Structure 1
Amino acid sequence: MVRRFYRRLVAASALFTVELLIVWGLFLVCIVAFLYISSEVMEGGNIKFDEAAFGFAKDISNPALSQFIKIVTFFASRQFLTPAALLLVAYFLFIRKHRWYSLKVPVVALGSISLNLVLKFFFDRERPGNQLVESSGLSFPSGHSMVAASFYGLLIYLVWHNVKDKTLRNMLIALLVIFVFLIGFSRIYLRVHYATDVVAGFAAGFLWVVIGIGTLRRIERVTKKEVAPVVEEETPA
């Protein structure tokens, strides 16, 4: 019994350490990436990375891929993410009954959108020309990429903590990561954003996920008002 408890304790500690290292590593990489790219953008002029990305997208373009890209980019649009976020909130409020999870969804989603608008206003970068679809507003950082990184990053967090089957969990996380990168590439392919817009959007979006979830988890622990996923029945007095 003691040996089994010790093994579980060691396994839990190892999992916590791995998770902490991944989170801190992602946090530092995102900060460095965003600061470096934003400094390049502020200097103005053409950035070789942007031109190379546009060149690659042009080389592989074809009608079938263009149609697929338009479908992919829809999954980071306001028309999709708004009802998706509301459904996720309803699920954690009324079905799974985990109110802290239901709070994380709007904090991550609304916070990401608000932060993106502030950053766009600050950097004031115009969008590239010759767009394949109509798009308005400023360019840096990419709103689709930033919101996709935040929303699907939150889904990755939820999958990591709630899917028990290791194979299924890893497969879902891999698919979500690939999907986020596809959304970012779709913005370059459609020429509505520079590649640096997309990378900066990813960095800012993932940063917001880490900060938002970390802050809410700390509040959850301090207030001691965590609502368990399974609501316990009240015992008669």
Structure 2
Amino acid sequence: MSNTTHAKKDTIVPATIFLALYTIWAILVSSGNQIIHKFDQAVIGIICNTNPANIKFATTFTNLGNTSVIVLETIILFIILVVFKKYAYAFFTAGTMIAANGYNWVIKHAIARHRPYVHHLVAAHGYSFPSGHSVGSATLFGILIVLTILMVKNRAGKTILCIIWACFPLLIGYTRIFTHVHYPSDVLGGFLEGITFVLIGYSILYHYYLKE
């Protein structure tokens, strides 16, 4: 057990807050509330354009959030953690990813929101809310942020890595809106869901492994 355990805190309170925010957001989306409509239109107006360079970036970078890529990255991370005998961290990674993506599948089919009725710049299938790319990337890179905080001792290195990890889901979420395959509210919902599961997963890790 790390000798810095005393500096670690439980995340059940922020997890509860994010769960409440996500639940409210999902209810607003499923009910077709005007708040969601106005939010979507405002963000689309800011993000979307026809700049060729932006289109090339968005249609390429969005592939980093594909389910197959996220699953492969998760498996590699899990194997690395097992090899270095970080078993609790490995099962935190796998359990959190499985729970987040499994729950996302259930919610997608429960709400059954259709994707935007405009030309999609990349292929997309299934229902729209929450964005699977956003859930997967927010969960995976959220896990990487947690692992970085727990395992990297150098403060500067820790900060730089956390910033890099945080940029990936933000950019992937941006590409899902830009390519017209998701509404902004889908992406935000995905972020809220992913962060919620990371915080819940860490709370379990804290109580069963990190807590003194």
Q: Identify whether the pair has TM-score above 0.5, normalized to the shorter chain.
A: yes
- Unpaired segments ≥5 residues, structure 1: 1-8, 225-237
The answer on whether the counterparts of 1:33 and 1:200 sit within 8 Å (CA) in structure 2 is no
The one-letter code sitting in structure 1 at the alignment partner of 2:56 is Q
Paired position in structure 2 for 1:81: 70
The answer on whether the counterparts of 1:120 and 1:140 sit within 8 Å (CA) in structure 2 is yes
Q: Alpha-carbon deviation of 1:29?
A: 4.4
Paired position in structure 1 for 2:100: 112
Aligned mate of 1:102, from 80, 90, 98: 90
Question: Relative contact order (alpha carbons < 8 A, sep ≥ 6): 1 or 2 greater?
Answer: 2
Paired position in structure 2 for 1:135: 124
Q: TM-score, normalised by structure 1?
A: 0.79
* Structure of larger gyration radius: 1
The CA RMSD measured in Å over matched residues stands at 2.4
Q: Alpha-carbon deviation of 1:206?
A: 0.7
Paired position in structure 2 for 1:124: 112
CA distance in structure 2 between the aligned counterparts of 1:159 and 1:216, rounded to whole angstroms: 15
Aligned mate of 2:203, from 214, 217, 233: 214
Paired position in structure 1 for 2:48: 58
Aligned mate of 2:27, from 22, 32, 39: 39
**Structure 2 residue matching 1:75: 3-state secondary structure:** helix
- Unpaired segments ≥5 residues, structure 2: none
User: Would the alpha carbon gap of residues 65 and 42 (structure 1) be closer, same or farther in structure 2, given more than 3 Å must change?
Assistant: same
Number of corresponding residues: 207
The one-letter code sitting in structure 1 at the alignment partner of 2:65 is A
The answer on whether the counterparts of 1:120 and 1:138 sit within 8 Å (CA) in structure 2 is yes
After superposing the two structures, state which structure 1 stretch, 176-185 or 209-218, moved more. Answer: 209-218
Runs of 4+ aligned structure 1 residues displaced above 3 Å come to: 23-26, 219-222
The answer on whether the counterparts of 2:177 and 2:184 sit within 8 Å (CA) in structure 1 is yes
Aligned-residue sequence identity (percent) comes to 28
Paired position in structure 2 for 1:164: 153
Paired position in structure 1 for 2:81: 92
**Structure 2 residue matching 1:141: 3-state secondary structure:** coil
Q: C-alpha offsets along residues 160-193 of structure 1, whole Å, 9 cap, x if unaligned?
A: 0111110110111112112211111111111111
The one-letter code sitting in structure 1 at the alignment partner of 2:97 is A
Q: C-alpha offsets along residues 36-95 of structure 1, whole Å, 9 cap, x if unaligned?
A: 322221222651111112222224x4111122122322221123122211211111122x
CA distance in structure 2 between the aligned counterparts of 1:189 and 1:133, rounded to whole angstroms: 10
The one-letter code sitting in structure 2 at the alignment partner of 1:49 is F
Q: Alpha-carbon deviation of 1:28?
A: 4.6
Aligned mate of 1:150, from 135, 139, 142: 139
Q: C-alpha offsets along residues 121-166 of structure 1, whole Å, 9 cap, x if unaligned?
A: 1111111122221211001111110111111100000000111110
Q: TM-score, normalised by structure 2?
A: 0.87
Q: Alpha-carbon deviation of 1:24?
A: 5.4
